Chains A and B, each alone.
Chain A
Amino acid sequence: MPQLNPEFFVSQLFWLAVFFTFLFVFLWRVSLPRIATVLEKRQNKIDENLSSAKELQEQAMEIEKKINDQINRAKLETDEKIKETINGLQEDVSSQLSSLDKDLEKKVSDAEKEILKSKDDQMKNINNEIVNITKLTVGKITDIELSDNELNKVIETQKGSFN
């Protein structure tokens, strides 16, 4: 078995020591710090990006909050304005309605008064006509001249039976 032949033991150990020491020192001083720097740089970059992303998110949330606040405020304002307008309109309408009602009532009562007046006038006219016709008729038939007062009295007494 060549492994147990001590002829090259010293040579093996010597070159192992040389190469392994070189490898160890080289990796320790050159290669590993390089990789470590890269990894650190990347981690820093990731951390930086994460923190800036967080910041931006916070800012976005703040802006969103502001927007929501403004929307809410605007809604409240518009609601109030709509209410005010509706109230104003209602007041207007009711006042106009009442004034119209008054006008109408006045016109109706005026008309009623006029009607009554004209009715009275007509009644008077009718009375006069009745008196005249009665006077004439009685005069023609009987030659009795009746005075207006007497006739009026008779008519007044008869009126009750007409009505």
Chain B
Amino acid sequence: MAAKDSPLKQFEIDPISNIEVGGYNISFTNSSFAMLITVLVITLFLTLTVNTRSIIPSRMQLISELMYNFIAQLLSDTVGDNGKRYFPFVFSLFMFVLIGNMVGMIPYQFTFTSHIIVTFALAAVVFIGVTILGFINHGIKFFTFFYIPGVPFYMHPLLIPIEVISYLSRPISLSVRLFANMLAGHTLLKVFAGFVVSMPFFTGVFPLAFIVALTGLEILIAFLQAYVFAILTCLYINDAYHLH
């Protein structure tokens, strides 16, 4: 599978500098490099564009403000006033996934959101955080989250396990959704890129045109998945406040 021109080769991790601490391999890899680029882009953009703090914003400052308002609106729509405390976290999550996806759209650039371990770690942080939040807000009553009121009593032995399973599968669905979308999109691009090279004469322009269109679609998906990640996080936070 790891042939030289396999479409999955782009997901291989190459260490840039080998680091080992306490027997653990924590090498700085191309994935880490993509994360570094992502964090630099976000922090520099959000800092420099708002540097002048002008009341009448420049175009770049307006972009930062739009992103701020976008997530602030999302949080207040789904969670309400309680959501303001989680704004920095949801905003960081959204920006990290969004710019991570966008950086991945640059040719030859690694996409760290196409690695299940990364998306799962992000989803696990959300899941564990929301669960802790639920217990802080409701104590032991948080378990009533799995009890659906207004259902005939004999249905509960069936419904409660389903609710528990669906709750526990949240981090999996959250992480796999992002990972699979990125994996599929980039694989598809690579497959078509292979066609461009292997097709005879000038017929390669057709898959090339397809790649151009797919790139547009992938940029849309990159935004959409970041949005979905953020809005689901908001919904989970909301669940931790309002059980049913």
Residues of A within 8 A of B (CB): 1-5, 7-17, 19-20, 22-24, 26-28, 30-32, 34-39, 41-42, 45
Contacts and interface: CB of A to CB of B under 8 A. Distances in A.
Tell me what chain A mostly uses at the interface: helix, strand, loop, or mixed: helix
Contact of B53 (A5, A9, A26, A37): A37
Contact of B25 (A7, A23, A24, A30): A7
A124 B196 CA distance: 156
A41 to B, nearest CB: 6
Nearest to A34: B50
Contacts of A27: 42-43, 46, 88, 91-92, 95
B180 to A, nearest CB: 10
A1 B112 CA distance: 14
Contacts of A9: 117
Interface in B151-190: 179, 183
B26 interface: yes
B65 A39 contact: yes
Nearest to B10: A2
B31 to A, nearest CB: 6
Contacts, number: 133
Tell me what chain B mostly uses at the interface: helix, strand, loop, or mixed: helix
Given A23-B42, A23-B92, A2 B11 contact: yes
A111 to B, nearest CB: 99
Contacts of A13: 117, 121
Contacts of B47: 30-31, 34
A53 to B, nearest CB: 17
B38 A19 contact: yes
A78 B114 CA distance: 89
The 5 A-B pairs with the shortest beta carbon distances in the complex, nearest first, are A28-B88, A15-B32, A31-B46, A19-B35, A24-B92
A27 B67 CA distance: 13
A38 B50 CA distance: 8
Contacts of A1: 1, 8, 11
Interface string B69-107: 100000000000000000111011001100000000000
A63 to B, nearest CB: 31
B231 interface: no
Contacts of A14: 24, 26
B3 interface: no
Contacts of A36: 68
A35 B25 contact: no
Interface in B27-79: 27-29, 31-32, 35-36, 38-39, 42-43, 46-47, 50, 53-55, 57, 61, 64-65, 68-69
Given A3-B116, A19-B36, A35 B26 contact: no
A82 B31 CA distance: 97
A31 B24 CA distance: 34
Contact of B87 (A5, A10, A32): A32
Nearest to A43: B55
A95 to B, nearest CB: 78
Contacts of B1: 1
B27 A8 contact: yes
